[in-house]
Amino acid sequence: MKTVQWLVLCLAFLTMFSACSEPSSSESQSSETNLSNRKKITLTLWYWNRSIDDELLAQAEKQFPNIELKTQKIGGDFKAKLKTTLAARSGEPDIVALNDWMVELFPSADRFYDLRELGADRLKDQYLEWKWNQGITPDGKMIAFPMDTGPTALFYRSDLFAQAGLPSEPEKVSASIRTWDDYMAAGEQLQQKFGSRSFLADNIVNVYNQVLAQHTNLYFKPDGSYIGNQSPDIRLGWKTAVDFHKKHLLANADGWTPEWNASVNNGKIASFVGAIWMKQVLTEAAPDTAGKWRVARAPGGDGNLGGSFISILKSSKHPKEAFEVLTWLQNPEHQLEAYHKIGLFPSTPGVYDDPIMETPEPFFGGQATGLIFATSARHVKSSYFGERYPVIHGIVTRRLANVAKQDANPDALWTETMDRIERELQR
Amino acid sequence: MLREIWKHRVVYAAISPFYLLFGIFGLFPIGFSLYLAFHKWDGIGDMTYNGWGNFRYLVTDNEFWQAVGNTFVIWVYATIPMLFFALIIAFLLYAPFVKMRTLWRVGFFLPNVTSIVAVAIIFGALFANNFGFLNYLLQLLGLPMVQWLNVPWGIQIAISSMVVWRWMGYNAIIYLAGLQSIPHVLYEAAKIDGATGAQAFFRITIPMLRPVILFTVITSTIGGMQLFTEPQVLVGNDGGSGASGMTIVLYLYRESFINNYFGYGAAVGWGMFLIIALFSIINWKLVQGKK
């Protein structure tokens, strides 16, 4: 009897293990094929949808016959997936695309190759200097290579501006709305005409973000010291944003919500300052307003919001080849192509004079908006973020949102915010 | 003892897969999170020992206590109407005069298997501030619009209504099973004695259902304390305007995976464990109560 029980059990385990071991047999097959052309190395690349042109990745196979490029489009929360992979120290890709949150990875710079050691410096003058510097840690390690950028500009409804008696041609708007105060004055004129049917800007947090995008003294200095409580730029951002609220110039529609989409589509939002990637967001959200939007220079100066980077992980066994692939993918010619195909704005100023930048865009009434963004991108100033930027910025913007949404007292909230940050920095 | 185990080794071997899997996926994470709660860790670099630091921070953390408060409020808003309506639905599903009962049962259970993300998107459209369906209805009735997702109670009601929508049918099916286990003779006897329907419901149905009600209260307490997806999808990682939709688990998630304080996140988890344990005991005492 006992033996029968054992037999049944063994059989059960056997079937379990044989089911598990199946993949390994196919693995041995693939290693056989690797033997036949043994020079071919495998590189894994992680990116998210629309961060790299898929066709370009397909071409890479031809460009590098000795490399098998395994591209993996990572969906969902890319950052969380990358971080858990880094924490697990297994299954890491060779090359990885990073968004502007890559500053959070600065404390873990030793998990990435210093791209300067791989020879990045000889390419430096092809890229925007401020963008290039963002990928370098305070102690001089370059862990992230420039992909696209997010120069900012003013998106506005030319028809609504004209009805309110404001200038409506991009050149005239750029010339007459130069500062945030000019912009607010335009908003008050708009308000007189439309009342609460149409507002100058979308939401308070966006105003704050846009002011910060134009300035250089943010929350931290490169030596790591906190300056947010005394930085004039932070104060200016807070004050400007609060003023917008006090003058009732905001539609109070949060970004990335159906509410925002509806508001741009039905004219409740007459303008907003945004990065170039808002072009696509706007085009998809507001099909009914096609042809009525224009782009002018941003009030308050040129700035940058967002944009991506690309890195090589230290775990990669083929950093030289990975660097070759990476620089090929992001060379000026391919960045221009990516702009043309999927709207990623190049970080290589050499291509800003290309005729492609002058392509008229029907959604923007035939305006060639590329020229505006190119000028903006050239004039962005280098600013330092620091690895705790996302946390601190989150604390400030959450409280700022309360000013607009729950009519909280901005002065009391400013003090509370500064205390909260103080506490945050101590942990 | 060991000899006993060796004697029954076949039996132990047969049940071993559960314990192996539990050890790997259950016991290890619990132990690791306890270890983590006493450390600082950004998720990638080295861990540094932090003693009771995380817990000291926890008890003085206003945002954590706000999250605890929010979770309780949402739990009250959701659980009481949910269990009340579930009981009524179960009673109706059991009633002999209802036709096509299987269809109704499936219909009420269906929300429970719907993708929560899809649900949150629909509820987001219902409760939207300016172009939401509820505000459209209010306007039709000539009533003022409500900034649902700006005011604290609006956010909390929106989240609660998602919970009610999703779990009401589930609890109704459990109540239905409870109802079916009550012997018919009791009702027949009551009828002979001249009891009304209401009397039968309150004197027979409710007392006989007590253990089932206790079960649903405890499960919905634990579920309510662990509320995460609904607020996360509806109002985002920061809990929406004024952090009114910030629940304990959402706070844990944000501190760990957004702000990279993994040690602190683990401490929040243990804080939550204590609260749930305490709360379950109180609930149990209250519902079982006067017997």
Interface of B with A in 69-88 (CB under 8 A): none
Q: Which amino acid is at A171?
A: E
Residues ≥6 apart with Cβ < 8 Å to B211? B178
**β-pair type (A41-47, A67-73):** parallel
Low-confidence spans in chain A with pLDDT less than 50: 1, 17-36
The partner residue sitting opposite B10, judged by closest CB among A9, A104, A108, is A9
pLDDT at B80: 94
CB A132, CB A145: distance < 8 Å: no
Q: CB contact, 8 Å: B125 with chain A?
A: yes
Q: CB contact, 8 Å: B16 with chain A?
A: no
Residues ≥6 apart with Cβ < 8 Å to B88? none
User: Smallest Cα–Cα separation from B212: which of B95, B49, B86?
Assistant: B86
Using a CB-CB distance cutoff of 8 angstroms, which residues of chain A are in contact with residue B130?
253, 259, 262-263, 268
How far does the CA of residue B113 sit from the closest CA of chain A (Å)?
Answer: 21
User: Smallest Cα–Cα separation from A187: which of A275, A246, A253, A274?
Assistant: A246
CB A252, CB A283: distance < 8 Å: no
Contact A398 B10 (CB under 8 A): no
pLDDT at A131: 97
Interface of B with A in 136-165 (CB under 8 A): 147, 150-151
CB A142, CB A114: distance < 8 Å: yes
Tokens of A22: 């199946």
Q: CB contact, 8 Å: A394 with chain B?
A: yes
User: Smallest Cα–Cα separation from A365: which of A201, A151, A154, A169?
Assistant: A169
ipTM of the complex: 0.83
Using a CB-CB distance cutoff of 8 angstroms, which residues of chain A are in contact with residue B42?
107-108
Q: CB contact, 8 Å: B51 with chain A?
A: no
The dihedral sign for the CA sequence A393, A394, A399, A402: positive
Q: Is the pLDDT of residue B89 over 70?
A: yes
For B158-208, the pLDDT digits (tens) are 999 999 999 999 999 999 999 999 998 998 999 999 988 888 888 988 899
Contact A263 B131 (CB under 8 A): yes
Of the residues A16, A78, A405, A417, the best mutation for testing chain B's interface (the one with the most B CB atoms within 10 Å of its CB) is: A405
pLDDT at A12: 57
CA distance A201 to A249: 6
The partner residue sitting opposite B128, judged by closest CB among A2, A258, A405, is A258
- Lowest mean pLDDT, pick from A172-181, B11-20, B90-99, B153-162: B90-99
Q: Which residue of A has its CA nearest to B44?
A: A87
- Report how far apart, in Å, the C-alpha atoms of A302 and of each of A207, A282, A347, B31 are: 14, 20, 15, 51
Interface of B with A in 253-282 (CB under 8 A): 257-261, 264
Residues ≥6 apart with Cβ < 8 Å to A215? A233, A236, A237, A303, A381, A383
pLDDT at B283: 79
Using a CB-CB distance cutoff of 8 angstroms, which residues of chain A are in contact with residue B66?
none
Contact A427 B242 (CB under 8 A): no
Q: CB contact, 8 Å: B114 with chain A?
A: no
CB B178, CB B121: distance < 8 Å: no
Q: Considering the entire predicted model, what is its pTM?
A: 0.87
For B40-57, the pLDDT digits (tens) are 998 888 899 999 999 999
Backbone phi, psi, residue A213, to 5°: -65, -20
Q: Which residue of B has its CA nearest to A391?
A: B259
